[in-house]
Chain A
Amino acid sequence: MLAAACGSNGNDTGTPAAADGGSSSDAAPGQGSTAVGFIFVGPKDDVGYNQAAYDGAMAVKKDFPDLKVLTQENVPETDEASRIMETMIAKGAKIIFATSYGHLDPAMKVAAAHPDVVVVQQGNFIKDTVPANTGTYFGTVYEPVYLAGIAAGKATKTNKLGYVYAFPIPQTIANIDAFELGAQSVNPKAETYVVNTSNWCDPAKQAEAAKSLLAQGVDVLTQHQDCTGTITKAAEAAGAMVVGYHADASSLAPKGWVTGSEWDWKAMFEDIVKTALDGKFTGSKYNANFRSGLKDGLNPFVQSKYGPSVTQATKDLIAKAATDIAGPGSPFKGPVVAQDGAQLFPAGKVPTYAEIEAAATVFVKGVVGEIPKG
């Protein structure tokens, strides 16, 4: 069966794996696959979410030379995604990574039609029973965001932080909450002003959002967008500080860069691929809603380097918080109170990832702004 993987390892150029015709139905999902498919919602060089996932795919390509790595950029979160995944399966892929939040429904559809193919999805959550050939994976994104929030809380002079986000999905809300909780853990007066753009990448809207926040006196900007250059540059141009997301953009803001959070998917992608190839996917930790964090040391979401203005005292505070999260703590360790005063987690409570994601439907106290209702 490996014969089909011979020859070029090029992207998107694979020929249908005719030799793969005899895929035995008794094999474990993903076992002995000759190819791996990755779909991305955006372009592979967005200096952000998609580039990080693409870099992870390229790491797989490098470290599994026998595997054909198929990639497809700009895959919409519609049935078009199912069609592209089907094409990849026709080319021999029995392991598929659907890397955008909205790819879950098409991914589940494809997985149901192909029990011998492992389809894993990045960042969403399977609410019902997780089928034997699927799973979702992610990092505890909010951990480094909380740490960056500490830096932001120490850096602000106006006590107003600004957060530009795209859509109020649980992951984003948890990030905003963690950012504010981190900031207020060292600066009780710090508030986070939020603006959404209803778009993962509309640079002009981002520029407008940044202007609006800066006009309100915000002096530290951060964001949850797919393309991150515009806001980073807008903050630097206005003499404000900026906390990064998705990628190290410190070169865009040499003065204002504080710190940030960025991706490194290599270890997790490769482990998922290896688990599937070995026929051990079903029943593994990835055959679930898997979330890695500081506690297991595999978090694909890591803190970016510090900018010039961050003091040693702040760095020490952050190091201490990181140690605490890796040990008994959590960014959401109680008491955590919602915007309206309702208690989310009681004092002393260390919530699980699932509990945090479930609670991420409201902003915490200290966030200024409303969650848009559909």
Chain B
Amino acid sequence: MTLPIEVLTGAVRGGTSILYASVGESIAETAGVVNLGTEGSMLAGALAGYAITANTGNPWVGVLAGAVAGGALAFVHAFFVLHRGANQLATGLVVLFLGLGLTSLFGAAFVSRQIHSFTAWDVPVLSKIPWVGEILFQHDPLTYLSFVLVPVTWFVLQRTGIGLLVRGAGERSEVLATYGHDVRLVQYLAVVTGGLLAGIGGAQLSTAYANSWFENMTQGRGFVAVAVVIFAARRPLAAMGGSYLFGAALALSPALQARGWAINQFALDSLPYLAVIVVLVLLGKKRAAEAPEGLQKVFELSTS
């Protein structure tokens, strides 16, 4: 396998969990709610996915459980933010630590368990295409689902009545309310959907990628997803690019090392995070101005 193919394949493999979480967070933020608890939803999804797969022998049931767990944690966030008017950023962090604590507690028993994990499935015909086939079409089924998720999410958000409601809830909630729509319900659904997707992302990590559960195994990928959403300005396709960029940066280090190349791995290891920071700095002002009104309130941004 040549280096570019290996890194790009690794980008998809390592970026998929972040992709699910960032698409989910895009939906929540479009509705005007930031969920820093995304990391917690990913952890909950990773554990529930692994635990239920271990107990049922079926990874699909596991992923479903992962989605429910991620969604449940996001519901906690939504409740405090939407019903109690709590600060979104603070609540998100609390939800993260709740997820971290709960999964550490209940996850201990599953560290040594084994599962029948997802296995890679080569898409007929497509996987035979040189380069592209190897990079895109020799993965686990959750990766293929994410290929579908991205355009579907874009379409729903931008081209359907449901999407209009979601965008309205984030942008001009008074208008939505004036027309008799329940803004809070829309926001609840958006945040919980975001959590469901983050949960699937976590389950992808534990049941399709690492094939193991371990305490705090997401290692900050949920925060990366939130950062990806900021620089992708909540656009699913851009979030896909951002997620794969992070995945590629992660895959580059082992790929170079396994070839015995002399590189500074510490610099390489910080590359994904540096990339996120640089993009945020470059895009920050512009993106802030584009953010839904609801979000601008959260960050107390001035658009002038």
Contacts and interface: CB of A to CB of B under 8 A. Distances in A.
Interface stretch (A83-91, A193-201, A269-277): A193-201
Given A162-B258, A202-B219, A204-B205, A47 B210 contact: no
A373 interface: yes
Contact of A252 (B114, B262, B269): B114
Given A45-B111, A195-B254, A204-B17, A372 B264 contact: yes
B258 A229 contact: no
Contacts of B250: 204-205, 208
Contacts of A45: 108, 111-112
Contact of A215 (B6, B119, B260, B266): B6
Contact of B259 (A197, A203, A216, A233): A216
A227 interface: yes
B13 interface: yes
Nearest to B206: A203
Contact of B14 (A46, A208, A218): A208
Contact of A369 (B214, B260, B269): B260
Contact of A46 (B214, B258, B260, B262): B214
Given A45-B112, A198-B266, A252-B114, A193 B258 contact: yes
A42 B262 CA distance: 31
A162 B210 CA distance: 18
A355 interface: no
Given A204-B14, A233-B211, A370 B261 contact: yes
A374 interface: yes
Contacts of B119: 237
Chain A CB within 10 A, most for which of B6, B255, B257: B257
Contact of B257 (A196, A230, A252): A196
A370 B254 contact: no
A310 interface: no
Contact of B212 (A205, A233, A369): A233
B104 interface: yes
Interface string A233-275: 1100100000000000001100000000000000000000000
Interface string B13-24: 110010000000
Contact of B104 (A43, A199, A209): A43
A240 B165 CA distance: 52
Which of A45, A212, A252 neighbours the largest number of chain B CB atoms within 10 Å of its CB?
A212
A212 B257 contact: yes
A373 B104 CA distance: 34
A199 B219 contact: yes
B280 interface: no
Contact of B254 (A203, A212, A229, A368): A212
A141 B210 CA distance: 27
B199 interface: no
B160 interface: no
Interface residues of A, number: 43
Interface in B1-46: 1, 6, 10, 13-14, 17
Contacts of A31: none
Interface in B120-156: none
A206 interface: yes
A198 B260 contact: no
A368 B206 CA distance: 30
Contacts of B14: 204, 208
A211 interface: yes
A202 B104 CA distance: 15
B230 interface: no
Interface centre among A162, A204, A207, A370 (most CB of B within 10 A): A204
A213 interface: yes
B217 interface: yes
B188 interface: no
Contacts of A201: 214, 217
B257 A229 contact: no
A194 B111 contact: no
Contacts of A208: 10, 13-14, 250-251, 254
B262 A207 contact: no
A215 B210 contact: no
Contacts of B108: 43, 45
B215 interface: yes
B231 interface: no
A46 B111 contact: yes
Contacts of A213: 254, 258
B56 interface: no
B263 interface: yes
A229 B259 contact: no
A325 B216 CA distance: 40
A194 B257 CA distance: 7
A366 to B, nearest CB: 12
A162 B257 CA distance: 11
Given A43-B215, A195-B254, A229-B214, A204 B260 contact: no
Contact of A216 (B211, B253, B258): B258
B260 A230 contact: no
B265 interface: yes
A239 to B, nearest CB: 13
A204 B217 contact: yes
Interface string A284-298: 000000000000000
Interface of B: 1, 6, 10, 13-14, 17, 104, 108, 111-112, 114, 119, 205-206, 209-212, 214-215, 217, 219, 221, 250-251, 253-255, 257-266, 269
6 pairs of A and B residues whose beta carbons are closest in the complex: A203-B210, A212-B254, A372-B265, A212-B258, A368-B260, A229-B212
28 contacts: A43-B104, A43-B111, A46-B111, A46-B214, A47-B112, A74-B104, A193-B260, A195-B257, A197-B254, A198-B265, A199-B219, A202-B219, A206-B210, A211-B13, A212-B251, A212-B254, A213-B254, A215-B258, A216-B258, A227-B111, A229-B112, A230-B214, A252-B114, A369-B258, A370-B260, A370-B262, A370-B263, A372-B265
Interface of A: 42-43, 45-47, 74, 162, 193-199, 201-209, 211-213, 215-216, 218, 227, 229-230, 233-234, 237, 251-252, 368-370, 372-374
